[in-house]
């Protein structure tokens, strides 16, 4: 596959991602809002027993894996775990064989490895946004994540 930075798509894809969990662990969901030009796509799903961090990671993974060709992507997340993990911690984890600085196994390693692979196909700019603070894309991703929870929790809200 060619390097997306060498052959960028004409438009940047804006990917808004969020995870939600009712109980931690508990039923969880992920949501993705993709926008490029005049095109918009909504994705969501859930798991019956998971954690919020796993759902935040899953949202970012699905956003990138759903793109059919290499793209320039601005990926918006309200998760410091996802942002710091992908931009700061990942190189060290990989260098240490997926161990933390304390030589303990990296939590959610399956998802971190999948996210690392998914991002390799794209030129990704990681952008942190404050959650529940009026950002329309983040609010839409949050609503989709909650639909994902509803899809596995029978629609019951706490």
Angle at 32 between CA 31 and CA 34, to 5 degrees: 165
The whole-angstrom separation of Cα 57 and Cα 147 is 17
Domains and CATH numbers, the chain: 12-153 (3.30.420.10)
**In the predicted structure, residue 8 carries a pLDDT above the cut 60:** no
Q: Tell me whether residue 137 is one of the annotated catalytic residues.
A: no
What pLDDT does residue 153 have? 86
Q: How far is Cα 144 from Cα 33, in angstroms, rounded to an integer?
A: 8
**Token digits of residue 52:** 């919020």
Span 148-153, average pLDDT: 94
Residue 142 falls in which region: left (phi positive, over 0), alpha (psi -120 to 50) or beta: alpha
Tell me the mean pLDDT in the region 11-40: 96
| 102 is annotated as an active-site residue | no
Is the per-residue pLDDT at 5 higher than 80?
no
Report residue 7's pLDDT band, with 50, 70 and 90 as the boundaries: very low
Catalytic member of 78, 122, 137, 148 = 78
- 19: annotated active-site residue: yes
pTM score, two decimals?
A: 0.90
């Amino acid at each position: 596959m060619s390097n997306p930075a060498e052959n960028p798509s004409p438009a940047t894809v804006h990917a808004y991602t969020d995870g939600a969990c009712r109980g931690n662990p508990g039923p969880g969901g992920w949501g993705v809002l993709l926008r490029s030009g005049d095109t918009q796509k909504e994705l969501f799903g859930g798991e019956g027993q998971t954690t919020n961090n796993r759902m935040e990671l899953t949202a970012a993974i699905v956003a990138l894996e759903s793109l059919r060709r290499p793209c320039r992507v601005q990926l918006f997340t309200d998760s410091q775990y996802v942002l710091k993990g992908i931009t700061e911690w990942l190189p060290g984890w990989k260098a240490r064989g997926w161990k933390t600085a304390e030589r303990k196994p990296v939590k959610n390693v399956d998802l971190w490895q999948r996210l690392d692979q998914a991002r390799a196909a794209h030129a990704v700019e990681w952008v942190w946004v404050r959650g529940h603070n009026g950002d329309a894309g983040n609010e839409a991703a949050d609503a989709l994540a909650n639909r994902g929870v509803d899809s596995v929790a029978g629609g019951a809200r706490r």
